[in-house]
Amino acid sequence: MRRAPSAPREFLFGPERDAYDAIWPPALRRKLALMVMEQPRQLRQNLLRVVEATLTARRETVEEASLQAAFAEAVDDLTGVTRRRQLAARRAS
């Protein structure tokens, strides 16, 4: 005789996911995704990885201003703008 199926258990992500959710509010995760999608396809994966890693490593709740700053910095780094600025500054001195 078969047992009746039990009610599905609640799925828990665990303390790691709770910590991640504390750092990345859902609204800012959506904002980051939209910002990344506006960029050229060849930058998207690395851009998402760099911004997410940079802000997650700080272990503090991401805010709009820090997201914008980290995003701009990552775009500049990945497109070579930062390196060109460094070279121009070196030539000027």
Task: Give per-residue pLDDT as tens, 24-73.
Answer: 999 999 999 999 999 999 999 999 999 999 999 999 999 999 999 999 99
46 domain-assigned: yes
Classify residue 4: in a domain, yes or no. Answer: no
45 domain residue, yes or no: yes
Q: Which two tokens mark 73? A: 């910095």
With respect to residue 88, please indicate whether it lies within any of the assigned structural domains.
yes
How many Å separate Cα 51 from the centre of its chain?
4
Q: What was the pLDDT predicted at 44?
A: 97
| Domains in the chain, number | 1
The boundaries of the domain holding residue 65 are: 15-92
Q: Which pair of structure tokens corresponds to residue 14?
A: 């665990």
Spell out the residues 6+ positions from residue 51 whose beta carbon is closer than 8 angstroms to its own: 32, 36, 67, 70, 71, 74
Residues 6+ positions from 48 with CB-CB distance below 8 Å: 32, 33, 36
1 pLDDT band, cuts 50/70/90, is low
